Amino acid sequence: MINPHGPDLDARTRRLLRTLIAQYLVDGEPVGSRTLSRSSGLDVSPATIRNIMADLEDAGLVSSPHTSAGRVPTPRGLRLFVDSLIELQPLPHDEMARLQRELPPGPTNTLDLLGNASTLLSAMTHFAGVVTVPRQADFPLRHIDFVPLPDARVLVILVFSDNQVQNRIVQLAQPLDSRELEEAANYLNAQFVGFRVDDIRAHLLAELREAGSELNRLLSSTMELATASFAPQAGGSDVLVSGQTNLMAYSELSNLQRLRELFDAFQQKNELLQLMEVCARAPGVRLFIGEESGFTALDGCSVVTASYGAQGRVLGAVGVIGPTRMAYERVIPVVQATAALLSDALNRAATTL
């Protein structure tokens, strides 16, 4: 009996399984013993191959859709293939050049950069491209400014290191004039540029505790304004999806009910975002085949992701969703390279502070 986890597969069996899966990934058809005999380069008879295939089927690594129709890999077989049977190569020069050309490291805002990454992954793989959008508070502050409004309200303009701009309106106990707001902005820019919002809030609370009743009126108003400006905001991460309609071209996903569930999941995003956040928490490439994702709508799909970040901090994950019959040896390097280029672009943006 073959161990389904793979260590007990002898070299001949591994080669036949690798040949079967590679052939299936190309044409999507069950692979027969005679085809394997010709394609594997092994000097074994079709009868011997049939015996080996029977053992692999007993181990749950391949299955036979119809009697005498040849065999196809199961999700477990695909997992073994990805984990130990394929040999990943660096991304070809022309594809790397395309990524570098279309994901330039120059100044841009994060949403544009992530949207480009999702669209580009979809175009290069012909699957759905996905990327999580981190909280704005995960990026360092570049600049803050204040604009007075009626009734002791202030428009707060926050510019972050990724060139995104966020506007907030805060209510003060007493109004501040333009000169006082300018002084408050100068103080906060001098003290907190390059800090993330959570860190700024922690510094402000510490200063308030230490200063106690010794704050003069202007400093007290500045601290009130600053505390309100950096208060936690509702809403968290988001996920961008591109090229969903690409999936309609694959026969494995052509069932209308399955497509409806899948597209509903892309629209609702909640479960997809949870899955992508799990992927972001792990370094390197994450791969879910079929039901491994725990996400019913993706039972017939594979998800390939890699995390990206800046300044040693993970910000999210980027990847593709496609049928389980995908060219993993090509898709994985594309996803890896995209994540690396995203991280490079975000690191460059952070160093321009």
- CATH of residue 279's domain is 3.30.450.40
- Helix 93-102 vs helix 110-125: crossing angle, to nearest 10: 150
Q: What is the mean pLDDT of residues 92-113?
A: 82
CA 93, CA 95: separation in Å to the nearest integer?
6
Antiparallel, parallel or unpaired: β 153-160 and 165-171: antiparallel
Q: Give me the pLDDT at residue 65, please.
A: 79
Confidence of residue 1 (pLDDT cuts 50, 70, 90): very low
Claim to verify: residue 312 and residue 224 sit in the same structural domain:
no
- 21-58 pLDDT, tens digit per residue, is 999 998 888 998 888 888 888 888 888 888 999 999 99
From 229, 264, 281, give the residue that closes a domain.
229
User: Is 2 part of any domain?
Assistant: no
Confidence of residue 301 (pLDDT cuts 50, 70, 90): very high
Q: How many domains does the chain have?
A: 3
User: Is 210 part of any domain?
Assistant: yes
From 229, 260, 278, give the residue that closes a domain.
229
Radius of gyration of the chain (CA): 27
Q: Give me the pLDDT at residue 39, please.
A: 84
From 229, 250, 268, give the residue that closes a domain.
229
pLDDT over 80 at 166, yes or no = yes
Which ranges constitute the DSSP H helices of the chain? 11-27, 33-39, 46-58, 75-80, 93-102, 110-125, 178-192, 197-211, 217-229, 256-268, 270-280, 328-351
pLDDT over 70 at 210, yes or no = no
Claim to verify: residue 48 and residue 76 sit in the same structural domain:
yes
Claim to verify: residue 216 and residue 301 sit in the same structural domain:
no
Residue 79 lies in domain: 11-85
User: Is 4 part of any domain?
Assistant: no
Claim to verify: residue 290 and residue 344 sit in the same structural domain:
yes
Claim to verify: residue 77 and residue 26 sit in the same structural domain:
yes
Apex CA 129: angle with CA 132 and CA 125, to 5°? Answer: 150
Claim to verify: residue 127 and residue 241 sit in the same structural domain:
yes
Place of tokens 């995960």: 138
For the entire predicted model, the pTM comes to 0.78
User: Is 44 part of any domain?
Assistant: yes
Helices (H) and strands (E) in the chain, counts: 12, 10
* CA–centroid distance for 139 within its chain: 17
Question: What pairs with residue 314 in β-bridges?
Answer: 309
Claim to verify: residue 250 and residue 332 sit in the same structural domain:
yes
CA 289, CA 327: separation in Å to the nearest integer?
13
